[in-house]
Amino acid sequence: MPTLPPPSQIWTALLFALAVAFFSHRLRILTVGGSIAQFFLGWVLLSFGGWQWTFPVLVFFVSSSAISLFRRKERSLPESFFAKTGSRDAWQVFANGGVAGACAVGWFFSSLDGLYVASLGALAAATADTWATEIGVVSHGKARLITNFRQVAAGTSGAVSLPGTAAAFCGAALLATSGLPWIPEIAKTETVLSVAVAGLAGSLVDSFMGAALQARFRCASCGKISERSFHCSIPAVRIYGLSFVNNDAVNLLCTISGGSFSLLLLRFLPF
């Protein structure tokens, strides 16, 4: 059983992670904190897992960053509604990629193949959620809360729509196929299907948690409702949800769900 990765792999991972983090910050995709978090996550993945663990994370990161820039000015909700906009911070990086990093370390020390499937499922859920949100907020179709089907503005936390759900499945399917070169030939179809469906399911868990538990606030100054606990530079009043359940907590639950569902589907469904 290995104790630590080879020094050459550690140094390669260090330089690669540093380059990706540097350019991500220069392109304003990540904040300083987000770049540091991405550097650490990338170093862990490449050091302990190699390219088979790193490539799917790159697929998530590049595709999600690109789609986030797509028609940004045409969002159907104002930026002030969302708790976080623009460059991603450290909490967002760990919420989306932390499960994959933990699985890579666990796999290195245990050699459990199921952890790779769980990692793909977690990243598929993160990709599905990001694609659904970004496409949903620029779509002109109807969006409804997943808990009561009440019509709301597209992009509202907990809302689902046909364009958003279709985008979610496409994102999950893309991420599922990113692991194809490292999935055993005998299980390729079953694994890809499990990961893609699990990614979609994880994004729906995200929607449900966002609608049922994520905190909403009303600004005491302008009266607007948003996900932000501060608005107009003053504390906002919580009117719904749990104060400790923010967007990062919902995203973490999304990725945990995607990883868990992928293992369950692969184990119990007769693909």
Q: How many angstroms separate the CA atoms of 77 and 134, rounded?
A: 11
What is the average pLDDT across 227-251? 81
The residue among 232 and 6 whose pLDDT is bigger is 6
Task: Locate all alpha helices (DSSP H) within the chain, ordered by sequence.
Answer: 7-26, 32-48, 51-68, 90-110, 114-136, 162-178, 188-212, 247-268
The average confidence (pLDDT) of the chain is 87
pLDDT at 259: 97
pLDDT computed for residue 1 by the predictor: 54
pTM for the whole thing? 0.88
Tally of CB atoms within 10 A around 269: 11
**Cβ 163 vs Cβ 144: under 8 Å:** no
Q: What does the pLDDT average to over 99-123?
A: 95
* CB within 8 Å of 179: residues ≥ 6 apart: 52, 55, 56, 116, 120, 191, 192, 195
pLDDT at position 206 = 94
Question: What are the tens digits of pLDDT across the range 173-224?
Answer: 999 999 999 998 888 999 999 999 999 999 999 999 988 888 888 887 787 7
121-175 residue pLDDT tens: 999 999 999 999 888 777 666 788 888 888 877 667 788 888 899 999 999 999 9
